[in-house]
Every structure is written in structure tokens, then in C-alpha cells.
A = this chain, B = another copy of it.
């Protein structure tokens, strides 16, 4: 006997049919002579009914069932009586009157309920991941992730991209994040590195004339895990030849629109907003702005400059420092003194030494700093921040980086606390015109903001010698609701420009070749203009699934110690294995 339909697919259209379902017992209720069995599979839950008068043997089996037993039930689909219809589930109008109940396998009592929204310690869920994945919300997430990948592959294929697999056992490069290493048995003392990204290989594939490449590919970074990072993660990776920035952006907008429509049922308008990096920083204090709400940053430096509020006026007199504000609508009522103290602690996480505030009340300004300011100055602050009666203005003054980081984070924190975010919005935007370089105060030299193969804007090439910090790059990040989904750039494909870039980074020609010689050598043989992009698939899936953690969209994730709780990986291995690899553990 074979399954004829999935449990969750049954509905009133099947009334009158004899069906065979297979799945897990979610629940049984014994009403004496009649046993109701909720049977669950990937598609949903349906109610089966075993009636003592209908088939004694089946009834006996039904009596023996417990939660998570695996069963096969044959029966006729009948409408439920009107008072027992369950409108909450798609199968709620029908039930399967069992003529045959077969026990396929028994089950011990699971350590937690197999249902949505359980309140169970994540460690327990991860230890029994195979049961956690049996829960309907986890199944929904895994199905959605499959869909995203499938849609992406269809889209790229339709657009002439080839999915080409690149190696996992690669060469360790001496920069970037920490590599995972793999000792070679055949080459004693030598090591492979697991790839942090297929960057090098995909550029070589453009050189080899593959024209359009993509890959959904595992990448690895041995970093200390922050809350939502995984040592192994999945990248949606692409590269195109003979393109400019508009081409790459437009192909990716097409992908995103398709995914949003088919996975989330949302029509997003393309083209997306393109926001220069500088504007993103000035307005949102972030290169991944969440534009679902306002509360934009306002530069109030000129008001404080020379004012009686010495702390701020000293700061803003320095180059590269500023005093900026955000205006909280209705803050006077919404934010208590205690809240303001908490927010002050919050900005300190981002390096701010403190936070100033002004409550705009009916008759007066309530503020610890108002007494240091003239009427003209406070008027200017109100006007600049467009504050009205009832609003609260929050200020941070410091080096620009600290101001942006702290106010950028503060506005998101406030939006969450004050419930300002319309969760139905999907605000996609591109941040463009990133700086090519950033100055490293410790190393006293410029470093590449993205990587040393990122191309500068054509119009800024002349600045490379005169004012490198002002050179913008042909780099772009795609942002969704304040999350960076991915990023990319056009690459340098001209040897002279590449050498100029290395000079800017402080390399001699010899050093550049020692470090990047392998790619440089390849680039001599006819490199086409090319550029690309990479997405973090885990994060994209997390946002679309409305999950709180990327662990909820990964079948078998690792925890913060980079271990997998279920199988207990990594583990201690046999000494013989290590001997064969010519390594030993150092205590």
C-alpha cells in the first residue's frame, strides 16, 4: 500500500475518496469506541478517526498509538459535522474515517512538543535537532530556504549564468579573516584552507571567458562568533564580464524582485533607491540604513561651535568631529528620565562619552544643557531638528565615527522601543560610492575598504595621487530594512591601475607580486572588464522567514563555540589519524 496524498493536502475536494496517508501521530483522543488521531507530515495535519465498530483490528492499533508514532492510515475522506469543523487549519473541514491503521514505527516520548512556538531552551532544541526540525515552523523555514535557492538558480540560468563549482580545498592567503586549515597527508607540513569566498576563482572564470558565473556555495571563516555568525555559511555568489555597475545592479534587482514575489508574495518596485555612502552616513549614521522610519540625523555642529556649552563647543572645533542630533517625536511623554539614562548607557556601547537631550515642553525647554545655550542657539537647534512641542532631541558630540555609530544605533534602538517600524515594509536600497580606501591609524597607511581588486570610480582616478581618502569605489551594497544582504564591486582589470592601487596600499612592486602574484600573472592574459556580487543566503532567508536567528534557517547549525550540539563536532580523534597527517596537538 502506498501513500496517495500528503496529510496537509487533504481538503473538502477529496470528500468521497479513499486515501492512504502516512505520517506521525501528533495527538490522539480516545472518546470510548472512537479514537481521533491527528496525523502530521511535511504538508500539515489531518484528523483520522478509528471506530471500534468499523474495524476492530485498526481500532486496536489506534489504541496503542502514542505521540510521534509513525503510522499509515487508509480511509475514506468525509466531511466533519458542522460543529466540529476547525477553521484554523486547511484540513479542518474533513476527516479520514480509518478502515486500516498500520503502525510503521514506535517512538519514545520526545523531549519537547512537536509544534510551533515552543518555549524550549535552544540547546535542547539543537541537541534533538531532528525533532526540532519536525516542528511546523522549522519545516516552513527550510522549505522557504529551498525556494529561495531554487528561484535564484532559475533566474541566473535564464539570464545566461553558469553555475560553476569552485574548490573547497584551496590555498591559504595571508590576509582577511582567519582561515580554517586542513592538513595535507600527502604533502607533509602543507595545509589547505577552506575558502572564505570564491572571489579569486570567480575572477579567474571571467578571465577564462565563462562570461557569467554564479554559485550557491559554502564559505568558511574561523572568527570568534558574534551572536549571528556561523563558522560555515552559504553565499549566493555571482560574477559578470563586460559589465558596468548599472548592469550588475539591474540583474540583481531582477533577482530580488523575483524572490520577493515568489517567496513573500510582495511586489517590490525597481529600480531601488541608490544612496551614496556619504548620504547614508550623514542621514542614518550607518552604511546599512533602515529607511522604514525617519528620525534622521541632523548636524548641529555649527550651533554648538563657540557656544557656552563648552564640552560640545570644544569637540566640534576639531576637524573630523561633530555634534549631531535626532529628534524623537512625542519623546517628552514617551521617554522617562530613566529611559534617557538607559539610552545614555546605550550610546556608550558605541564609544560615545555621553548623550545630551532637550525635552521641548509647552512653555520651556527641559534639559541639562539648555542653561549653557542662548535663546538664539536653542531656537536654531529646534529649527534644524524640526522639533515641536512634545518632542525630545538627543545629541551626541564626538569624532564623526563615534557620532555616526552611536546615533545610527540609537535611532534603530528607539524605533524598536517606540514601535515605529512598519513590519510589512521591505525597504531595499543600494548604498553606492563607498570610499575606495580607509586610513588605518595603527598601521599609518591606507587599506582597501573592500579588497585591493575593487575598481575606483573613473572620475576619481586622478584623486588617487592627490587625495586618496576621497576616491570613491565602484562598490555597492544591497540593504534590506537595515540589514546588509550582500555587496559587490567592479574589479580592476588593468595592470597599470592595479599597480597604482598597490602603491597606494603601501606595497612595493615586489611585495605586491609576492602577495598577489598568482592572480596578477593570470591578469596578463586578456582580462575582460568584470564585476560581481555576493549575498549571505542565511541572512536573506532569515529575514524572509521572519526568524530571529540565522540558526533557524540552517538545518544543522553550530552554536557560539563553533560546535554542533547534536553530533558533538568537533571531537577528539585517533592519534593515528594525526600521525598520518604529520601533525600533533600542542597542549
Residues of A within 8 A of B (CB): 2-3, 6, 22-24, 40-42, 68-70, 72, 104-108, 110, 128-134, 139, 142-143, 145-146, 149-150, 153-154, 157, 162-172, 174, 178-194, 200-201, 204-205, 207-211, 218, 220, 222, 224, 231-232, 234, 241-242, 247, 493-494, 518, 522, 524-529, 554-556, 558, 561-564, 566-574, 577-587
The reply to whether B139 and A209 form a contact with Cβ atoms under 8 Å apart is yes
Taking a contact as CB atoms under 8 Å apart, the answer to whether B40 and A190 are in contact is: no
Nearest neighbor of A127 in chain B, beta-carbon distance: B521
Given contacts A168-B220, A209-B139, is CB(A189)–CB(B572) below 8 Å? yes
Q: Determine the residue in chain B with the shortest Cβ distance to A23.
A: B209
Select one of B142, B171, B210 contacting A162, CB under 8 A. Answer: B142
Chain B residues closer than 8 Å to A164, beta-carbon distance: 142, 145-146, 555
Closest CB-CB distance, A3 to chain B, in whole Å? Answer: 5
Which residues of B lie under 8 Å from residue A207 when comparing CB positions?
A: 130, 134
A211–B153 CB distance below 8 A: no
- A165 — which chain B residues lie within 8 A by C-beta? 218, 234, 554-555
Chain B residue numbers with a CB within 8 Å of A242 are 2-3, 22, 72
Tell me, in angstroms, the Cα distance from A39 to B166 when the chains sit together: 27
- A68–B525 touching, CB < 8 Å: yes
Q: Is the Cβ of B210 less than 8 Å from the Cβ of A585?
A: no
Knowing A107-B526, A167-B232 are in contact, say whether A210-B133 is a contact too (CB < 8 A): yes
Q: Which residues of chain B are within 8 angstroms of A571 by Cβ–Cβ distance?
A: 171-172, 190-191
A3–B240 alpha-carbon span in the complex (Å):
13
Chain B residues lying within 8 Å of A561, measured Cβ to Cβ, are: 186-187
From the candidates B69, B70, B200, B584, name the one contacting A583 in the complex (CB within 8 A).
B584
8 additional A-B residue pairs with CB within 8 Å, beyond A105-B494, A128-B525, A186-B562: A3-B242, A22-B528, A69-B526, A106-B526, A169-B220, A187-B561, A187-B562, A191-B572
Of the candidates B133, B182, B562, B564, which one forms a contact with A171 in the assembled complex, judged by CB atoms under 8 Å apart?
B564
Q: Is the CB of B130 within 8 A of A208?
A: yes
User: Residue among A143, A183, A201 with the most chain B CB within 10 A?
Assistant: A183
Closest Cβ neighbor of A179 among chain B residues: B577
A224 closest partner in B (C-beta): B186
* Minimum Cβ distance to chain B for residue A192 (Å): 4
Shortest distance in angstroms between A266's beta carbon and chain B's nearest beta carbon?
Answer: 22
Known: A165-B555, A187-B563, A528-B70. A586 touches B577 (CB 8 A): no
In the assembled complex, the Cα of A563 lies from the Cα of B579 at a distance in Å of: 20
Nearest B residue to A208, CB-CB: B133
Interface residue from B145, B162, B190, B524 paired with A572 (Cβ < 8 Å): B190
Residue of B nearest to A3 (CB): B242
Known contacts A561-B187, A584-B586, A585-B188: A209-B133 contact under CB 8 Å? yes
A526/B24 in contact, CB under 8 A = yes
What residues of chain B lie closer than 8 Å to A183, measured between beta carbons?
Answer: 181, 183, 583
Looking across the interface, which residue of chain B has its beta carbon closest to that of A494?
A: B105
A41 touches B209 (CB 8 A): yes
Report Cα–Cα, A468/B573, bound state, in Å.
Answer: 33
Instruction: Specify which chain B residues have a CB less than 8 angstroms from the CB of A145 in the assembled complex.
Output: 164
Complex CA gap A585/B582 in Å reads: 6
Q: A169-B569, A183-B181 are in contact. Are A163 and B139 (CB under 8 A)?
A: no
Interface residue from B149, B157, B493, B572 paired with A163 (Cβ < 8 Å): B149
Closest to A68 in B: B526
Across the interface, do B181 and A180 meet the contact criterion of CB distance under 8 Å? no
Task: Check A194 against B209 for contact (C-beta < 8 Å).
Answer: no
Q: Considering the chains assembled together, what is the distance between the CA atoms of A189 and B211 in angstroms?
A: 44
Which residues on B sit within 8 Å (CB–CB) of A129? 204, 208
A66 vs chain B, min Cβ distance (A): 10
A181–B182 touching, CB < 8 Å: yes
Cβ-defined contact, A210 with B139, below 8 A: yes
| A-B contacts, 25 listed (Cβ < 8 Å) | A6-B211, A40-B209, A42-B211, A68-B525, A72-B242, A105-B494, A105-B527, A107-B526, A108-B524, A129-B204, A139-B210, A165-B234, A168-B194, A169-B220, A169-B562, A169-B564, A169-B569, A172-B573, A178-B580, A179-B577, A180-B182, A187-B563, A192-B570, A201-B556, A583-B586
Asked if B209 and A24 make an inter-chain contact with CB atoms under 8 angstroms apart, the answer reads yes
Q: Is the CB of B110 within 8 A of A525?
A: yes
Could you tell me if A570 and B190 are in contact, using CB atoms closer than 8 angstroms?
Answer: yes
Assess whether A525 is in contact with B108, with CB atoms less than 8 Å apart: yes
Which one of A128, A493, A567, A570 has the greatest number of beta carbons of chain B within 10 Å?
A: A570
Query: B580 to A586, Cβ gap below 8 A?
Result: no
CA gap between A169 and B207 in the complex, in Å: 31
Please give, as numbers and ranges, the residues of chain B lying within 8 Å of A193 by CB-CB distance. Answer: 569, 573
Which B residues are CB-close (under 8 A) to A105?
493-494, 526-529
**Given A153-B153, A162-B142, A570-B192, A184:B218 Cβ within 8 A:** no
What are the residues of chain B within 8 A of A234 when measuring CB–CB? 165
Residues from chain B with Cβ under 8 Å of A231 in the complex? 169
